[in-house]
């Protein structure tokens, strides 16, 4: 049986599909290859998967916000890893409909697909953005998340609520994963690690929101993928016991982070070392919808799935910069 992975041409989706295929699973991957960022990068990720794994990887170009199209998918998958979404906090300020379609309509469609196909486990991407205006650190899955600061965060919170309803009504085993600032090879061009590396290598100023006075729980992609797969392999039980996040239905919520909050200027220093360039600084005000600090309490996923991150920011930053140079042909 295959595993269905949405957003398979995306950063986390492609890395998760790669790990599943490498261990012997087959993967059906769907993605609409939109132009939120350069589709050439998405196609390059797909080419890597096709080149390494051949017929074990099947790609279907499809928008999961189209329920009719989803109904045409083959029936030979028993688990879903729903990682596709319209990402980005700032983009949501000017393009709200993209988030409504992908993150609300699309998520509801995927839940209906999971219910109709009676899948054994529905794993989906939430976000650390749901913690919004919380000022108690580290963020815990037990914390209330009622005050999102962006439409993106609001849609991710809504996804958690929709999934809780399906887990309750239809006993759909589900796990939501709140990702914390993922970075690494094949990362996204709209993320700080890529933006800063590009600017450093080009000799351009680094745009530092809040003057760089921010902290982030940077989490390396390999650690994220190990957490996703550990959760995928162990669905929450339908036993009326309280799960991580508080549900008595078969629905668990976990933070996946490095469990270390890094000063953004320390990350800039690591990038300077890895690129051999001195940063020019372009201080900017705090951006609407953004949060000053993130920090993951990962005790729940550690307890239930044995997850511990293995890659420090000191190790991960040079790995990303090395990949970035290779991908762009920079000596």
Alpha helices in 95-250 (DSSP H): 96-99, 106-117, 151-170, 192-202, 221-232
Q: CA–CA separation, 275 vs 212, rounded Å?
A: 19
- In the block, residue with structure tokens 């794993």: 123
Catalytically annotated residue among 99, 124, 131, 152: 152
- In the block, residue with structure tokens 């379609």: 101
Residues with Cβ within 8 Å of 160's Cβ and at least 6 positions away in sequence, in order, are: 126, 130, 176, 245, 253
Counting other chains too, the contacts that 36-45 makes at CB distance below 8 Å and 24 or more residues apart are: 36/86, 36/87, 36/88, 36/91, 36/98, 36/190, 37/188, 37/189, 37/190, 38/189, 41/186, 41/189, 42/9, 42/10, 43/9, 44/327, 45/9, 45/10, 45/11, 45/14, 45/186
Residue 131 is a catalytic residue = no
Q: Any idea which residues carry the catalytic annotation?
A: 152
């Amino acid at each position: 049986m295959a595993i269905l992975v949405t957003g398979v041409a995306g950063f986390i989706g492609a890395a998760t599909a790669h790990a599943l295929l490498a261990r012997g699973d087959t993967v059906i991957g769907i993605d609409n290859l939109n132009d939120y960022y350069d589709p050439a990068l998405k196609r390059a990720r797909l080419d890597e998967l096709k080149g390494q794994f051949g017929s074990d990887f099947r790609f279907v170009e499809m928008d999961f916000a189209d329920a009719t199209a989803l109904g045409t998918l083959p029936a030979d998958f028993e688990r879903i890893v729903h990682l596709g979404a319209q990402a980005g906090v700032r983009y949501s300020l000017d393009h709200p409909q993209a988030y409504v379609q992908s993150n609300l309509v699309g998520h509801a469609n995927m839940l209906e697909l999971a219910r109709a196909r009676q899948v054994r486990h529905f794993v989906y991407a939430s976000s650390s953005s749901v913690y919004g205006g919380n000022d108690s650190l580290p963020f815990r899955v037990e914390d209330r998340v009622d005050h999102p600061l962006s439409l993106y965060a609001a849609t991710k919170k809504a996804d958690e609520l929709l999934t809780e309803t399906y887990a309750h009504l239809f006993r759909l085993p589900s796990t939501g994963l709140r990702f914390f600032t993922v970075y690494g090879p094949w990362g996204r061009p709209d993320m700080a690690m890529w933006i800063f590396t590009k600017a450093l290598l080009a000799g351009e100023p680094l745009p530092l929101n809040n003057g760089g006075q921010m902290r982030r729980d940077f989490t390396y992609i390999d650690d994220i993928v190990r957490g996703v797969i550990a959760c995928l392999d162990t669905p929450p039980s339908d036993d009326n016991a309280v799960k991580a996040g508080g549900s008595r239905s078969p629905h668990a919520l976990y933070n996946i982070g490095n469990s270390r909050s890094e000063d953004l200027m320390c990350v800039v220093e690591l990038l300077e070392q890895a690129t051999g360039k001195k940063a020019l600084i372009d201080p900017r005000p705090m951006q609407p919808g953004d949060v000053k600090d993130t920090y993951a309490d990962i005790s729940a996923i550690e307890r239930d799935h044995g997850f511990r991150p293995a890659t420090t920011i000191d190790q991960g930053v040079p790995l990303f910069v090395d990949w970035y140079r290779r991908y762009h042909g920079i000596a």
